[in-house]
Amino acid sequence: MARDLETQRRSLLESLRSAGIHDERVLAAIEATPRELFVDPHHRQWAYADQALPIGCGQTISQPLIVATMTQALQLSGQERVLEIGTGSGYQAAILARLARFVVTVERYQQLACQAARRLLQLGLSNVAVFVGDGSLGWPDAAPYDRIVVTAAAPQIPQQLVAQLVEGGILVLPVGSHDHQELLVIRRTFSGQEVHSLGGCVFVPLVGKGGWEE
């Protein structure tokens, strides 16, 4: 099984390169992060398939291409403080921890947060703080952040998250309806914000006071 997973990991990396993931630091972080640790044992054989998988509580671990695309869009150099909204399995947080100085990640489900924290500890990633709360409001106690990434879909750009960015900071998140969203990259500027789209996507909804109603 281990040999099969290694073969699948190498195949995934090649497919990510072919799909336009060119940041070698991002690719190295994905290569170093065992995705099989973050999926249900029943789905382990599909750990390196380029698809989302269920993780419990009605949530999913995102498709690797989406994870890589969002991470690459953050333009991480290694010095940033990053806020992640929607810890889920902890997979995205693990990759961010290899690429940034410090990661704050917020999950609304305590069960998922505890599981993610154990996995991150198992990997020896000590530069991540996992919190339980309404991530749709961000995490103001540790603001401002250099980067924010949201792994659930908001109905509109959450200005409360933009406000928690430093000037020049970047927010990456899906915005749209329940059925279809655009993956947006927002940079906070002195005069407001610059926005561009990376294309269509489908995420679980961002539930909370700053997102969709439960």
**98-153 per-position pLDDT tens digit:** 999 999 999 999 999 999 999 999 999 999 999 999 999 999 999 999 999 999 99
State pTM to two decimals.
0.95
pLDDT in tens, 31-44: 999 999 999 888 88
- Domain membership flag for residue 209: no
- 34 three-state secondary structure: coil
pLDDT of residue 145: 98
Contacts 24+ apart (CB under 8 A), 1-5: 1/44, 4/45, 5/36, 5/44, 5/47, 5/48
Identity of the amino acid at 134: D
Structural domains of the chain, count: 1
- Domain membership flag for residue 214: no
- Domain membership flag for residue 121: yes
pLDDT in tens, 45-55: 888 888 988 88
CATH number at residue 173: 3.40.50.150
User: Rg (Cα) of the chain, in Å, rounded?
Assistant: 16
- Domain membership flag for residue 163: yes
The range of the structural domain enclosing residue 71 comes to 2-201
Active site residue 89: no
Cβ contact 81:101 at 8 Å: yes
Q: Which of 18, 62, 89, 197 does the annotation list as catalytic?
A: 62
Check pLDDT > 80 for residue 84: yes
Give the model's confidence band at 3: pLDDT under 50 very low, under 70 low, under 90 confident, else very high. Answer: low
pLDDT of residue 1: 53
Dihedral sign, Cα of residue 24, residue 4, residue 11, residue 148: negative
Check pLDDT > 70 for residue 68: yes
Cβ contact 23:16 at 8 Å: no
Percent of the chain scoring above 90 in pLDDT: 80
- Domain membership flag for residue 53: yes
